[in-house]
Homo-oligomer: A and B are copies of this chain.
């Protein structure tokens, strides 16, 4: 049994971790740390946790490094980079939810940061090289040995899983891959404001950060790494009035000779042994994965145009965030990759 601390416990990322770890056979939550709501019970912040987790939320100054074997930083951008040294010097492995440890160069981090409108100088540059990009379907072996894991962005996870088999097979011919992404409102975190004001979101949908969403950099890095380079992605994110879920439709030209059946084979072979990716022959609904750590993917050829399209869905808070993080933690700790994560989706 490993003891963990959750830094950033009062957001949706922290909440997701708590819910998973409560039923996890190998992790015990020892500390909940946050900036807001310190001194309250976590079940006063999230009343549905009453009776399941009534721990106090502590201030960052009170972290008891001796009592923990692993830490989750479910913190906003630029928090992890100020915290990392205290964990590194004690050799406590860390999984960070922000963009702080997803990149291997200051340049890439800079593009990411500027897309989000943030300060673009990384504050812990020496830790960058050590960090592993935390997508278990791609980097399982590296993650097993990692001390710093950068948990990917929710949209990024969906896009990468949708594109990776085709990229790795070298069949993508388009220079520009189109990814049209639809997300529920929880994707923006637990930060009430105009963008997630109920009367503004209900019965509404819209695009935003068209072509310049911050998750683009990491997706292009991975896709180009898999296919040998030269691809760009045009990604238009959209918000739709649901709480949870991402539905991605991706479009690309591919080498001739492929059929829907051969693509399904290709994808199934690629994801063989990956417990959370299901390649389907019918179109997945976002509700088919809500509340679970699964990604469902349907690749096909449009017979009229010959283009390849991929439909893929995840729950942005689970496979897109805390579920994927626990999957990383399982690998890092030598547990079964699926430990604590085999919940069926929640429907209706």
Indicate if the CB atoms of A286 and B205 lie closer than 8 Å: yes
Could you mark each residue 186-202 of chain A with 1 if its beta carbon is under 8 Å from any beta carbon of chain B, else 0? Answer: 10001011101111111
A192: contacting residue among B193, B208, B283, CB under 8 A? B193
Task: Point out the residues of chain B lying under 8 angstroms from A290, CB to CB.
Answer: 48, 203-204
Nearest CB of B to A271, in Å: 13
A182 interface residue per 8 A CB criterion: yes
A15 to B348 CA separation, bound complex (whole angstroms): 10
Contacts of A291 in B (CB 8 A): 291, 346
Across the interface, do A204 and B238 meet the contact criterion of CB distance under 8 Å? no
Whether A238 contacts B232 in the complex (CB less than 8 A), given A287-B204, A309-B210, A344-B48, comes out as no
A197 to B288, CA, bound (A): 16
Q: Is B15 within 8 A of A304, CB to CB?
A: no
- Tell whether A152 is near chain B: CB-to-CB under 8 Å: no
Rounded to whole angstroms, the CA-CA distance of A115 and B271 in the bound complex is 33
Contact flags (1/0) for A261-295 with B, using CB distance below 8 Å? Answer: 00000000000000000101011111111111000
Is A241 engaged at the interface, CB distance under 8 Å to the other chain? Answer: yes
A198 CB to nearest B CB, Å: 4
Size bracket of the A interface = 35 or more
Write the nearest CB–CB distance from A126 to chain B, whole angstroms: 30
Given A46-B347, A236-B309: A206 and B284 interface contact (C-beta under 8 Å):
yes
Measured between beta carbons, the chain B residues less than 8 angstroms from A49 are 344
Residue of B nearest to A231 (CB): B305
Given contacts A22-B344, A287-B203, A309-B234, A242 and B241 within 8 Å (CB-CB):
yes
- Evaluate contact between B185 and A199: CB separation under 8 angstroms: yes
- Evaluate contact between A347 and B232: CB separation under 8 angstroms: no
In the assembly, what is the distance between CA of A59 and CA of B135, in Å? 44
Q: Is A249 an interface residue (CB 8 A)?
A: yes
Chain A positions 311 through 348: 1 when the CB is less than 8 Å from some CB of chain B, otherwise 0: 10000000000000000000000000000000011111
- Given the known A-B contacts A242-B205, A311-B210, are A348 and B12 also in contact in the complex, defined by CB atoms under 8 Å? yes
Residues of chain B within 8 A of A185, CB atoms compared: 198-199, 202
The answer, yes or no, to whether A50 is at the interface (CB within 8 Å) is yes
Please tell me if the beta carbons of B348 and A51 are within 8 angstroms of each other in the complex.
no
Nearest neighbor of A18 in chain B, beta-carbon distance: B344
Whether the pair A234, B285 counts as a contact (CB closer than 8 A) is no
Mask of A233-245 contacts with B, CB within 8 angstroms, 1/0: 1101010111111
Cβ–Cβ contact A232 & B19, under 8 A: no
Name 6 extra pairs, CB < 8 A, besides A203-B244, A203-B287, A206-B287. Answer: A22-B344, A48-B287, A48-B288, A186-B348, A192-B194, A236-B309
